[in-house]
Amino acid sequence: MRTLLLSLVLSVTSLALTPFTADPPLRGFFAQSVQAERDLEARLKAMPDPARMRAAMQRLSARPHHVGSPYDKQNAEWILSEFKSYGWDAHIENFDVLFPTPVERLVELVAPTQFKASLQETALPADPTSNQQAEQLPSYNAYSVDGDVTGPLVFVNYGVPADYEELEQRGVSVKGAIVIAKYGGSWRGIKPKVAAEHGAIGCLIYSDPRDDGYAGGDVFPNGPMRPAQGVQRGSVADMPVYPGDPLTPGVGATKSAKRLSVAQAATITKIPVLPISYGDAQPLLAALSGPLAPPSWRGSLAITYRLGAGPARVHLRVKSDWSLKTLYDVIARLPGTTEADQWVIRGNHHDAWVNGAQDPISGLVAELEEARALGALYKQGWRPKRTIIYAAWDGEEPGLLGSTEWVETHADELKAHAVAYLNSDTNERGYLGIDGSHSLEKFMNGVAMDVEDPESGVSSWKRIQARRILSGSPEARKDARNREDLRIGALGSGSDYSPFLDHLGVASVNIGYGGEDDGGIYHSIYDDFYWFTHFSDSAFVYEKALAQVGGISVLRLANADLLPFGFSNLAETIETYIKDLQSLRDRRAEQIADRNRALDEGVYKFTSDPRDPVTAPQRLQPAPQLNFAPLLNALDSLKGAASRYERAYATAVSAGRSSTAKAADERLIQAERALTSTEGLKNRPWYVHMLYAPGFYTGYGVKTIPGVREAIEQGQWQDADREIARAAAVIEREATLVSGVASALGGA
Ligand SMILES: [Zn+2]
């Protein structure tokens, strides 16, 4: 009663302050709970402290802290003690995973001239942590198979499938060759995979200065861009097949887990691969002859870009230590009260390739400040309805190891209890990025409206809207102006949300600010405290904003009277995916017909320049018509169910009955699970979500309704109708679930 009186007083005060606007509704809260929640959020928002985050970043990035390193373990122990000091019940959970580290690395040009690549990032006097060579992992690509190969060199642009079609038309084969690909255009692991599929025996990946070097600004330490000796490390495991420990697919890498042998692990590359700097790449590329590279392939080096093959011959040797290493996941918990068996989960990784101030510490320090703020509220007497779990993952960089192994170990509990997973990774100045499950789109729009953007002073929501109006596509501009909610993107892969969303069907969201800071230090020794405090969010105000977004999201999910999921935006988004698939099929059909016709007409033959000949592409199987009716019918069901749910939701919230809400919540947490299929995607059963998956040939990039989309893109027409039926089945199941919850809530 006292609380009620107090909140009445407070709401009168806030009305007085903003005389003409009532408190906007808060998704998931009964009218009588809104004010108490807003008061709590105001207290939480005031707590994240830029000075503390700066100090935490300096401490956590002081030394290299990759998987298996002493400082990785020390950081985990420090994070553990922080969580405990904030009042959380915390522990470290260990896993033993395959994590190869380099033993031998060699790249040399053996003909027509000789050159040995340095494979060394140099220490810079201005940058105090760049000289920690004894602890730095040398530049390499983790999960490259061991190998010692020599062959002619071929330049393959970004090394994606379309690039090989182009090479074939120019009569350039990579069979028996070592390819050199630029970073970018796809996730890096796709490059050796596609090269091996085309018969290459080795793969080099370099960062062209056009993409993140001097073409974009001054190079480090004078500016943020990649210097000539800077190298991007990174995993090349075939993550679109499954992420996590290559030896324990689908199960947790605990001490007693049954393990594959290294030779049996499907995700290790088929050919050796090594990343190099543009300093090291230039002499190799300059030694190529053969056809000129197409204009769009050329970079910013002062050379003539040619394709090869040869006469440059390259010798590549890679050998790793394939021992198991121990992961240290830090897991912290604040217990819930009335709905303790519903878990709200938040995570960011703590491991880095080297010092990793930006990736991942810029996100982690915000997460820690949220935890401190939530812990302070807890000490002051607040109790969340639902249990809150905060995680600091190890082993994200090599392949989402820490999150995947934890998710696989606790899969049954998570399927029963997980409400949602909220992830962050790197953070910079700029615009709030939100990607994730569309059942949370409306909810996350509400959060973005309530966090101020530190540079403009308007809400983070308003700032994203402004940018979309200014520079979006015509469609995006219209949406930004007229649609009630800003659209959020779908999640592919590339950070720790993937096991939650893709493997279990836990509704997930990734958050992070960005878009104003240029940089070319990704996964190099120069991603460190010096770089971050000179060229990124040096005032740590966007770290504070991220902590506010994360903290408020968690607080709302944990306290809500009725879980804040909504399904109208989901249905509407699925509709855009279906339309997109239909036009993709039609475009493909037209392209195929056009190419086959051009072949019949002999246009390739007649236009080929004898001095720079281009051969005709292969004839393609014409595209059949597809039957989209099952998807469209399922969509109709979901739209109907979603609007019934919105009516029921409005009734339930105004009636404010906790008993019906509690029953609804238990079913609502299964709503994302309903979108999964137990058999999973074709040839990659680890991925079970039928709406979102990383692309088999793009890696990080998302494929929406992936079964159907990839069947069309890859011309596997025989699969397309079956995939349409499978996707339709989960959407029908979602409609049934949503409709059932609407009835239970007492809606019409
Ligand atoms: Zn990261």
The predicted-structure confidence for 480-507, as pLDDT tens digits, reads as follows 999 999 999 999 988 999 999 999 999 9
Rounded mean pLDDT of 698-710? 90
| pLDDT tens-digit series, residues 108-133 | 999 999 999 999 999 999 999 999 99
What pLDDT shows up at residue 614? 81
| pLDDT tens-digit series, residues 234-257 | 999 999 999 999 999 999 999 999
What's the gap in Å between 647 CA and the centre of ligand 1?
A: 41
What pLDDT shows up at residue 11? 39
Which residues face 392 on adjacent strands?
330, 348
What's the gap in Å between 419 CA and the centre of ligand 1?
A: 24
Mean pLDDT score of the chain:
94
pLDDT at 10 over 50: no
Q: What are phi and psi of 69, to 5 degrees?
A: -85, 155
Which H or E run includes 95? strand 89-98
What's the gap in Å between 3 CA and the centre of ligand 1?
A: 43
Rounded mean pLDDT of 371-378? 98
95 with 245: CB under 8 angstroms?
A: yes
What's the gap in Å between 258 CA and the centre of ligand 1?
A: 28
548 with 448: CB under 8 angstroms?
A: no
What's the gap in Å between 142 CA and the centre of ligand 1?
A: 15
Rounded mean pLDDT of 185-196? 94
Confidence of residue 161 (pLDDT cuts 50, 70, 90): very high
Rounded mean pLDDT of 166-188? 95
What's the gap in Å between 426 CA and the centre of ligand 1?
A: 6
What's the gap in Å between 474 CA and the centre of ligand 1?
A: 32
Distance in angstroms (rounded) separating the CA atoms of residues 145 and 147: 6
What's the gap in Å between 694 CA and the centre of ligand 1?
A: 17
| pLDDT tens-digit series, residues 322-361 | 999 999 999 999 999 999 999 999 999 999 999 999 999 9
Rounded mean pLDDT of 417-431? 97
Rounded mean pLDDT of 452-468? 97
What's the gap in Å between 400 CA and the centre of ligand 1?
A: 9
What's the gap in Å between 544 CA and the centre of ligand 1?
A: 19
What's the gap in Å between 375 CA and the centre of ligand 1?
A: 25
What's the gap in Å between 491 CA and the centre of ligand 1?
A: 15
| pLDDT tens-digit series, residues 507-562 | 999 999 999 999 999 999 999 999 999 999 999 999 999 999 999 999 999 999 99
Which residues face 489 on adjacent strands?
435
Nearest 10 degrees: CA dihedral of 222, 226, 229, 234?
140
What's the gap in Å between 353 CA and the centre of ligand 1?
A: 9
Rounded mean pLDDT of 651-673? 91
pTM (predicted TM-score): 0.94
What's the gap in Å between 352 CA and the centre of ligand 1?
A: 7
Least confident of 2-16, 171-185, 347-361, 673-687: 2-16
What's the gap in Å between 425 CA and the centre of ligand 1?
A: 5
711 with 703: CB under 8 angstroms?
A: no
Confidence of residue 18 (pLDDT cuts 50, 70, 90): very low
Distance in angstroms (rounded) separating the CA atoms of residues 440 and 571: 12
Distance in angstroms (rounded) separating the CA atoms of residues 66 and 689: 30
* Three-state helix/strand/coil letters over 273-330: EEEECHHHHHHHHHCCCCCECCHHHCCCCCCCCECEEEEEEEEEEEEEECCEEEEEEE
pLDDT at 197 over 60: yes
What's the gap in Å between 98 CA and the centre of ligand 1?
A: 19
What's the gap in Å between 398 CA and the centre of ligand 1?
A: 10
What's the gap in Å between 242 CA and the centre of ligand 1?
A: 18
pLDDT at 22 over 50: no
Confidence of residue 23 (pLDDT cuts 50, 70, 90): low
What pLDDT shows up at residue 12? 38
What's the gap in Å between 320 CA and the centre of ligand 1?
A: 23
537 with 427: CB under 8 angstroms?
A: yes
Q: What are phi and psi of 331, to 5 degrees?
A: -120, 125
Least confident of 16-25, 571-580, 595-604, 664-673: 16-25
What's the gap in Å between 330 CA and the centre of ligand 1?
A: 16
Q: What are phi and psi of 33, to 5 degrees?
A: -100, -10
Distance in angstroms (rounded) separating the CA atoms of residues 653 and 440: 17
What's the gap in Å between 396 CA and the centre of ligand 1?
A: 7
Residues belonging to the chain: 748
Rounded mean pLDDT of 199-226? 96
Rounded mean pLDDT of 394-415? 98
What's the gap in Å between 702 CA and the centre of ligand 1?
A: 17
What's the gap in Å between 404 CA and the centre of ligand 1?
A: 14
What's the gap in Å between 138 CA and the centre of ligand 1?
A: 18
Distance in angstroms (rounded) separating the CA atoms of residues 236 and 181: 13
Least confident of 45-54, 322-331, 544-553, 699-708: 699-708
pLDDT > 70: percent of the chain: 97
What's the gap in Å between 703 CA and the centre of ligand 1?
A: 21
**How is residue 544 written in tokens?**
């504070």
What's the gap in Å between 523 CA and the centre of ligand 1?
A: 9
Q: Three-state SS for 121?
A: coil
Residue recorded with tokens 């806030």:
14
Distances (CA, A) of 423 to 516, 549, 557: 21, 11, 14
User: Crossing angle for the helix pair 717-744 and 568-601, nearest 10 degrees?
Assistant: 170
What's the gap in Å between 689 CA and the centre of ligand 1?
A: 23
Distance in angstroms (rounded) separating the CA atoms of residues 553 and 346: 10
Distance in angstroms (rounded) separating the CA atoms of residues 537 and 53: 11
What's the gap in Å between 734 CA and the centre of ligand 1?
A: 32
Distance in angstroms (rounded) separating the CA atoms of residues 284 and 141: 19
What pLDDT shows up at residue 562? 96
Which residues face 180 on adjacent strands?
155, 204
Q: Which residue has the higher pLDDT, 610 or 126?
A: 126
**How is residue 272 written in tokens?**
């050796």
What's the gap in Å between 81 CA and the centre of ligand 1?
A: 22
**Cis peptide preceding 112, ω within 30 of 0:** yes
